[in-house]
Amino acid sequence: MSTSTLDHAHDHGHDHAHDHPHGLSRWLFATNHKDIGTLYLWFSFIMLLSGGVLALAIRTELFKPGLQFFQPEFFNQLTTMHGLVMVFGAIMPAFVGFANWMIPLQIGASDMAFARMNNFSFWLLPPAALLLATSFLVPGGATAAGWTLYAPLSTQMGMGMDMGIFAMHLMGASSIMGSINIIVTILNMRAPGMTLMKMPMFCWTWLITAYLLIAVMPVLAGAITMTLTDRHFGTSFFNAAAGGDPVMYQHIFWFFGHPEVYIMILPAFGIVSQILPAFARKQLFGYASMVYATASIAILSFIVWAHHMFTTGMPVTSQLFFMYATMLIAVPTGVKVFNWIATMWRGSMTFETPMLFAVGFIFVFTIGGFTGLILAVTPIDIQLQDTYYVVAHFHYVLVAGSLFALFAGFYYWSPKWTGHMYNETMGKIHFWLSLITFNVTFFPMHFLGLAGMPRRYADYSAQFTDFNMIATIGAFGFGLSQAFFLFGVIIPTIRGGKKAEAKPWDGAEGLEWTVPSPAPFHTFETPPQFK
């Protein structure tokens, strides 16, 4: 064997090892979209459990009136960090994990467009999470300004606030890079014949979400950077005594914050829009109208931000504008709900776990949507602002909305990811436990809010005790349900279990698909309506 051949063999071996690194380096230097998707999913699940522990601490304090365990200052640190961890650490990275795993597979791409940037955008998250977590340990503790970080509170807090600001900058940079990656992948790397209007709905919702992220993350960065310079560099953007305006902070924050709400729900719409047709064995009803509805929601989300600010003393004309604009956004959302129902109508439905979570999603998300519509009515909102009614409303959207859709997507795609089928009985138990305990936790909060109980208080008057006790018991049930999900579903599925078939959902429960329809994972076949 000549030396050049040996060299070549050595080089080839080296290349091969580089292509498939093992152990720690496989994950540290991952450029494969599936590995990075897996990293995102594990990170977000760990953050979900951490944020859940914070929530249970909040609920423990609120089990009875009076101060039981925590001082009000620490209680507010818990509420702030619970919000930041769940929004930026759990829900958003989980959807990015789904995007990484599924988008290349659904459009027939070999990988994401920018593989190394994909790695970088993930590895920005653990240091950010660490910054957030350790802010509890610095003098003054974590920030207690609420997850919205309103000035002037946020300009007075200790250095935990600075750690929070830097953590959010890192997470924002991660989101922007992830979004650029998703947009370029979808626009440039579709398989031949995969036109935009033939893409699976999940790709559409993520394409639109990615544009939203790129538009609003810099706005958040601006708001928290102005806060930072107010704190340390003598500016007075939000200091009224020096000519600044604390309400300006709210305008900037909510101009980010309202589209952010849709960033956390649009990918959920995409997942549900894929699961329902599979288990109803019918085409998605009104594919084009679903695409247009998603785009309308995204565009309208930019002109409703001040419905979060009805109590800041804005002119009545502004209140009217934001009230009507908010009601308008309910129209495309309603289109989606009716399309989902029409998809199921007279379908040959079976109720495996993904379908249960998808149908559960529609039910509870619709309740969240209705309470949002109620809060859009200015005079009602002025009464309910900063009460537990608002807490109930956005948890119905974010837990029963985003989180249930994430669960549905996990059960639907985990055969694809792991090669194993999860245990159907365990999945169904997880669904019913989650659905029941979720409603036990958050439904009473509507009544608490209507009765006038304010949020973010460590204490409350005795009249609110019963509902708070029910909510706390429900919360512990919900937390235990997710521990059950980890130990009863996720770990056994990864370790083994029944081998998944090539098309795991074909002929589920012995029913063949009655309508020609693209199988869930073979999405590059042209659906019949486009042939």
Per-residue DSSP letters for 322-339? HHHHHHHHHHHHHHHHHH
- Has 22 been annotated as catalytic? no
Q: Do 265 and 397 meet the contact criterion of CB atoms below 8 Å apart?
A: yes
Residue 18 has pLDDT above 70, yes or no: no
Tokens of 430: 């997880």
Q: Which amino acid is at 505?
A: W
Residue 17 has pLDDT above 80, yes or no: no
Residue 34 has pLDDT above 60, yes or no: yes
What number is the average pLDDT over the span 459-481? Answer: 97
Query: Which residues contact residue 195 at a Cβ distance below 8 angstroms, ignoring those fewer than 6 apart?
Result: none
How does pLDDT run across 292-309, given as a tens digit for each residue? 999 999 999 999 999 999
- Has 20 been annotated as catalytic? no
How does pLDDT run across 434-462, given as a tens digit for each residue? 999 999 999 999 999 999 999 999 999 99
Residue 518 has pLDDT above 80, yes or no: no
Tokens of 196: 């935009």
- Has 273 been annotated as catalytic? yes
Tokens of 144: 């207690």
- Has 44 been annotated as catalytic? no
- Has 308 been annotated as catalytic? yes
**Which listed residue (204, 262, 287, 413) is catalytic?**
262
**Which listed residue (416, 455, 456, 503) is catalytic?**
455
- Has 446 been annotated as catalytic? no
- Has 417 been annotated as catalytic? no
Predicted pLDDT of residue 478: 98
**Which listed residue (190, 198, 258, 281) is catalytic?**
258
Phi and psi angles of residue 518, each rounded to the nearest 5 degrees, phi first: -65, 130
Comparing 5-19, 60-74, 307-321, the range with the smallest average pLDDT is: 5-19
**Which listed residue (336, 393, 395, 446) is catalytic?**
336
**Which listed residue (154, 209, 273, 472) is catalytic?**
273
- Has 281 been annotated as catalytic? no
**Which listed residue (101, 147, 389, 413) is catalytic?**
147
Ranges of each domain in the chain: 30-190
Query: Which residues contact residue 11 at a Cβ distance below 8 angstroms, ignoring those fewer than 6 apart?
Result: none
**Which listed residue (169, 308, 430, 446) is catalytic?**
308
Q: DSSP labels for 46-105? A: HHHHHHHHHHHHHHHHTTSSS--S--HHHHHHHHHHHHHIIIIIIIHHHHHHHHHHHHHH
- Has 230 been annotated as catalytic? no
**Which listed residue (143, 175, 296, 437) is catalytic?**
175
- Has 336 been annotated as catalytic? yes
Percentage of the chain surpassing pLDDT 70?
Answer: 92
Distance (Å, whole) CA 109 – CA 9 = 30
Tokens of 276: 């329902």
pTM for the model stands at 0.91
Map tokens 């049930």 to a residue. 477
- Has 455 been annotated as catalytic? yes
**Which listed residue (33, 59, 82, 281) is catalytic?**
82
**Which listed residue (111, 245, 386, 506) is catalytic?**
111
How does pLDDT run across 158-217, given as a tens digit for each residue? 999 999 999 999 999 999 999 999 999 999 999 999 999 999 999 999 999 999 999 999
Q: Do 280 and 347 meet the contact criterion of CB atoms below 8 Å apart?
A: yes
Predicted pLDDT of residue 507: 54
Q: Do 287 and 201 meet the contact criterion of CB atoms below 8 Å apart?
A: yes
Residue 237's Cβ-count burial label (10 Å; 0-12, 13-18, 19+) is: buried
Predicted pLDDT of residue 3: 42
509: helix, coil or strand?
Answer: helix
Number of DSSP helices (H) and strands (E) in the chain, helices first: 21, 0
Predicted pLDDT of residue 505: 87
Predicted pLDDT of residue 19: 59
Phi and psi angles of residue 454, each rounded to the nearest 5 degrees, phi first: -75, 150
- Has 82 been annotated as catalytic? yes
How does pLDDT run across 360-377, given as a tens digit for each residue? 999 999 999 999 999 999
Predicted pLDDT of residue 11: 42
What number is the average pLDDT over the span 117-127? Answer: 97
What number is the average pLDDT over the span 405-420? Answer: 96
More confident residue, 4 or 72: 72
Q: Do 467 and 430 meet the contact criterion of CB atoms below 8 Å apart?
A: no
Cα dihedral 274→276→280→281 (10° resolution):
0
More confident residue, 502 or 242: 242
Please, which pLDDT band fits residue 497 given cuts at 50, 70 and 90? confident
- Has 389 been annotated as catalytic? no
- Has 292 been annotated as catalytic? no
152 prior amide bond cis, ω within 30: yes
Please, which pLDDT band fits residue 10 given cuts at 50, 70 and 90? very low
More confident residue, 241 or 521: 241
**Which listed residue (143, 296, 333, 434) is catalytic?**
333
